[in-house]
């Protein structure tokens, strides 16, 4: 007389169900962590209440100076002047 609870199909099915539940829980926890990370990144946007405003302003000035230099070089190339 074989016991129904020890049937290999039921044991395998129960094991797979537990594995799916564990994987789903891990994926949900990772998703919540990723969302929290994105919320923190949005809180640090320039113009917010963060303390990094000065560094963002300095970076913007450097990028603006770089763009002006590129424009100057392109205008010189367009006019046929060598630098």
pLDDT higher at 6 or 81: 6
Q: What is the pLDDT of residues 45-64, one digit of tens each?
A: 665 555 555 667 778 888 89
Q: Does 16 score more than 80 pLDDT?
A: yes
Alpha-carbon distance values, 11 to 4, 5, 8, 18, 19 (Å) = 10, 8, 5, 11, 12
pLDDT of 81 reads 72
50, 44 contact by CB (below 8 A) = yes
Q: What is the pLDDT of residue 1?
A: 47
Higher-confidence residue of 75 and 1: namely 75
From CA 54, how far away is CA 8, in angstroms rounded? Answer: 65
């Amino acid at each position: 007389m074989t016991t129904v609870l020890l049937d290999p199909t039921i044991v395998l099915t129960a094991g797979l169900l537990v594995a799916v539940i564990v994987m789903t829980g891990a994926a949900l926890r990772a998703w919540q962590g990723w969302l929290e990370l994105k919320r923190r990144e949005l809180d640090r946007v320039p113009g917010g209440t963060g303390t990094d405003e000065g560094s963002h302003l300095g970076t913007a000035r450097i990028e603006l100076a770089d763009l002006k230099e590129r424009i100057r070089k392109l205008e010189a190339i367009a006019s046929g002047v060598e630098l």
